[in-house]
């Protein structure tokens, strides 16, 4: 009996091993610490002169940097270490002024040929890189209460118009109470309102108290859920935009569960600044352009694209009423445009204001509360950074009203698709749909992150080294097979994680270490079985064959159950635990391949063709 593999199996194993090797290489190139310079608006292009100004300022400050490159929209300067990078950012920002955004970033140093075939290093989690982690809870209840208050106001208006007299309106969470003097008035009111508020459940069951008859209108479960989803979605969008402003590389902003949002900012150390930006408020105002003969006291002058724009002081509506804004192309003219959706109250207000003002221009005013750092000399003669708050108001759009506008309208005549999407973004970011609270906050210092990587790698090296040594001593030649398989397994695990873009965390490293210990299990099972067969008097060739065959079922069962646990771990875990589950699952899958097919191929290659094999070194 001979143990031989068909050629394609050998080829498959070699190809997989080589791929594993290639795609784990990028992890050997640590990313550079860079600062990224970009214009604060899309009209500013980055060219050689900007880069030169940045270089000069760094030279002057005596900060080492080693490469500079630029494209149309951004420039990069590379630094030797994180400290130089931090200082460099300060210096360059001062030199370039507020027109440019200078952000900390990390640039991959992966060789081009690797990038070309899709190679990239593993992402490092916050615990390995340092940074801040926030968990925010969206307060949907207060958003619902606010909406119901608006609805109550609208109901009052409607009843007044319909000449139905009411006593009072109260709002308690999602429930509106309407109070009336008589049952007839109340029923009349309910039948008048019901049609307009289809997402509310009207009820007149509450008994009258002190001669006051009441109806209750409760926002339906479905509508509440919808609001919850919308609020979460809008807050996510808003947060993403704000986080981008922080100039952090690879920020994570994602929802968790029904009403939570995770924000992770790698590399950021100043929680206070991050919290300010995340929690900051920006607002929008829609105002009509002032008539040429309007009184000075009723107007205000702003700048719009370098020209003065005079707007009325009266505000048509604020950004709170914008529920959505999207950039698109006008299907007829193929010109960029922005479609805006308002809430119903906003639509009414907009309609009132525009229907008698067709042909006039309407401006969109963007109001931002910002902080700048001023360098001042304090009493001791030292330079200190003093934060100063200021409000920045700018007209971001001025367009002619072409008809009475309602809940949905669009702004056309924009310069480019990019300008359109920027405007849409600003419109959307006007306000958070619901207030948010910080429910979790973690900061990991960069030194701790670097230390964690070292500790992880050290324990991996020692663990792997000892297992390799043990297997070699205990199983001799077969130990060599198992060790080659184990080494390839680690490479595969690393390359699969790199390719999947999985994030490596400290528990993730622990998962890799654990995988190393457990991956040899399959080989131990096989080798123990082969030894047993030999003892029972089987010939070496048939011992190899039946050893692999018989152990296979056990290996499969054992690994599937472990995989089940890993999947459950992934499903219930959060953050670092997920990282552990991911490495554990991938490790199980890759180890099955290397430990069963890989070692079998080696065994076959070495022993498989020897007809008169007498002894196995096992």
Partner 1 sequence: MSSEKVLNFMGARLPATALSVIMLVVAIGALAMNGLKLGLDFTGGAQVEVSFSEPADIPEIRGILNNQGLTNPVAVLFGSDTEVLIRTQGAMSDGGEQALRSRLQPLGASLEAVNRAPRDSGTFTQELVFSGADRSALKAGDVLPERFFGSVEYNTSGDNVSALVENSLDTAYTAELLEVLEAETGSQVELRRSEYVGPQIGAELRDEGGLGMLVALAVVMLYVAARFQFKFSVGAVLALIHDVIIVVGFFALFRIDFDLTVLAAVLAVIGYSLNDTIVVYDRIRENFRRMRKGSPAEVINTSLTQTLERTCITSLTTLLVLIMLFVFGGELISGFAIALIVGVMVGTYSSIYVSANTLMWMHISKEDLMPPEKEGAEVDEMP
Site for partner 1 in 419-438 (CB under 8 A): 435, 438
Interaction with partner 1 in 567-596: which residues (CB under 8 A)?
568-569, 571-577, 580-581, 584
Q: Supply the minimum distance, in Å, between the C-beta of residue 486 and partner 1.
A: 10
Q: Residue from 7, 391, 612, 615 that binds partner 1 (CB under 8 A)?
A: 391
Q: Supply the minimum distance, in Å, between the C-beta of residue 547 and partner 1.
A: 12
3-class DSSP state for residue 608?
coil
| Own/partner pairs, 384-387, CB within 8 angstroms, 24+ separation | none
**Euclidean distance between CA atoms 615 and 193, whole angstroms:** 93
**Euclidean distance between CA atoms 258 and 231, whole angstroms:** 10
Interaction with partner 1 in 509-528: which residues (CB under 8 A)?
510, 513-514, 516-518, 520-521, 524-525, 528
Q: Supply the minimum distance, in Å, between the C-beta of residue 45 and partner 1.
A: 30
Q: Supply the minimum distance, in Å, between the C-beta of residue 434 and partner 1.
A: 12
Taking alpha carbons only, the member of 400, 240, 429, 197 closest to residue 324 is: 429
Q: Residue from 90, 275, 361, 410 that binds partner 1 (CB under 8 A)?
A: 275
CA angle 565, 568, 574 (to 5 degrees): 125
Nearer to partner 1, 178 or 511 (CB): 511
Determine if 16 is a binding residue for partner 1 (CB under 8 A): no
Nearer to partner 1, 115 or 567 (CB): 567
Half-sphere exposure for 574 (CA within 13 Å, toward CB): 10
For tokens 């205990």, the residue is 474
Interaction with partner 1 in 113-132: which residues (CB under 8 A)?
127
**Euclidean distance between CA atoms 253 and 524, whole angstroms:** 44
Q: Residue from 464, 492, 496, 502 that binds partner 1 (CB under 8 A)?
A: 464
Strand partners, 341: 324, 408
What are the tokens at 618? 């096992």
Determine if 283 is a binding residue for partner 1 (CB under 8 A): yes
Nearer to partner 1, 11 or 455 (CB): 455
DSSP class of residue 257 equals T
Nearer to partner 1, 77 or 231 (CB): 231
Nearer to partner 1, 66 or 369 (CB): 369
Interaction with partner 1 in 125-184: which residues (CB under 8 A)?
127, 135, 137
Determine if 377 is a binding residue for partner 1 (CB under 8 A): no
Determine if 385 is a binding residue for partner 1 (CB under 8 A): no
Strand partners, 437: 137
Residues near 589 by beta carbon (within 8 Å), at least 6 away in sequence: 563
Cβ atoms of 424 and 338 within 8 Å: the answer is: yes
Q: Supply the minimum distance, in Å, between the C-beta of residue 237 and partner 1.
A: 18
Piece of 146-154, 208-216, 220-228, 461-469 that binds partner 1 (CB under 8 A): 461-469
**Euclidean distance between CA atoms 256 and 568, whole angstroms:** 17
Q: Residue from 117, 222, 295, 553 that binds partner 1 (CB under 8 A)?
A: 553
Q: For the window 527-546, what string marks contact with partner 1 as x by the rule CB under 8 A?
A: -x--xx--xx----------
Residues near 18 by beta carbon (within 8 Å), at least 6 away in sequence: none
Q: Inter-axis angle of helices 540-572 and 506-535, to 10 degrees?
A: 150
**Euclidean distance between CA atoms 571 and 91, whole angstroms:** 45
Determine if 466 is a binding residue for partner 1 (CB under 8 A): yes
Residues near 380 by beta carbon (within 8 Å), at least 6 away in sequence: none
Q: Residue from 177, 276, 361, 418 that binds partner 1 (CB under 8 A)?
A: 276
């Amino acid at each position: 009996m001979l143990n031989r593999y068909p050629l394609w199996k050998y080829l498959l194993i070699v190809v997989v091993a080589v791929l594993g090797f290639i795609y784990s290489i990028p992890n050997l190139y640590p990313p550079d610490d860079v600062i990224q310079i970009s214009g604060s608006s899309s009209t500013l292009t980055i060219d050689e002169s900007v880069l030169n100004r940045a270089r000069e300022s760094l030279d002057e400050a005596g900060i080492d940097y080693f490469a500079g490159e630029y494209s149309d929209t951004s420039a990069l300067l590379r630094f030797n270490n994180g400290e130089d990078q931090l200082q460099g950012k300060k210096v360059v920002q001062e030199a370039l002024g507020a027109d440019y955004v200078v952000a900390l970033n990390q640039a991959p140093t992966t060789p081009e040929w690797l990038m070309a075939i899709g190679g990239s290093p593993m992402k490092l989690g916050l615990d390995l890189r340092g940074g801040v982690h926030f968990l925010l809870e969206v307060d949907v209840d207060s958003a619902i209460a606010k909406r119901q208050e608006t609805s109550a106001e609208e109901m009052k208006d409607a009843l007044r118009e319909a000449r139905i007299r009411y006593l009072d309106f109260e709002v308690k969470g999602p429930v509106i109470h309407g109070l009336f003097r008589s049952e007839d008035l109340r029923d009349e009111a309910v039948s008048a309102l019901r049609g307009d508020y289809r997402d509310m459940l009207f009820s007149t069951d509450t008994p009258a108290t002190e001669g006051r008859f009441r109806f209750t209108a409760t926002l339906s479960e479905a509508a509440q859920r919808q609001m919850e989803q919308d609020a979460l979605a809008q807050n996510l969008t808003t947060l993403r935009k704000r986080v981008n402003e922080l100039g952090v590389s690879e920020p994570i902003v994602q929802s968790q569960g029904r009403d939570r949002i995770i924000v992770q900012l790698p590399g950021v150390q100043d929680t206070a600044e991050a919290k300010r930006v995340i929690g900051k408020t920006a607002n929008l105002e829609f105002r009509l352009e002032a008539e040429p003969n309007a009184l000075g006291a009723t107007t205000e002058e702003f700048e719009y694209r370098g020209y003065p724009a005079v707007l009325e002081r009266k505000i048509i509506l604020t950004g709170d009423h914008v529920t959505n804004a999207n950039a698109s192309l006008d299907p007829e003219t193929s010109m960029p445009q922005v479609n805006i959706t308002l809430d119903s109250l906003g639509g009414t207000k907009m309609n009132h204001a525009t229907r008698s003002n067709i042909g006039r221009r309407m401006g969109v005013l963007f109001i931002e509360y910002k902080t700048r750092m001023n360098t001042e000399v304090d009493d001791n003669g030292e330079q200190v950074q003093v934060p100063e708050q200021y409000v920045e108001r700018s007209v971001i759009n001025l367009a002619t009203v072409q008809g009475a506008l309602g809940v949905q309208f669009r702004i056309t005549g924009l310069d480019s698709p990019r300008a359109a999407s920027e405007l849409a973004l600003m419109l959307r970011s006007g306000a958070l749909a619901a207030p948010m609270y910080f429910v979790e906050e973690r900061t990991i210092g960069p030194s701790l992150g670097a230390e964690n990587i070292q500790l992880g790698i050290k324990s991996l090296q020692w663990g792997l080294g000892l297992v390799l040594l043990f297997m070699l001593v205990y199983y001799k030649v077969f130990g060599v097979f198992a060790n080659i398989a184990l080494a390839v397994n680690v490479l595969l695990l690393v390359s699969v994680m790199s390719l999947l873009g999985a994030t490596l965390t400290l528990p993730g490293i622990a998962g890799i270490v654990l995988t190393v210990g457990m991956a040899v299990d399959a080989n131990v099972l096989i080798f123990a079985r082969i030894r047993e067969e030999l003892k029972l008097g089987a010939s070496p060739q048939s011992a190899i064959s039946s050893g692999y065959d018989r152990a296979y079922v056990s290996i499969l069962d054992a690994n599937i159950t472990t995989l089940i646990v890993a999947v459950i771990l992934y499903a219930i875990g959060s953050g670092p635990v997920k990282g552990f589950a991911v490495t554990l699952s991938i490790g199980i899958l890759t180890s099955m391949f290397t430990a069963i097919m890989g070692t079998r191929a080696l065994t076959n290659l070495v022993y498989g063709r020897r007809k008169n094999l007498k002894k196995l070194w096992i």
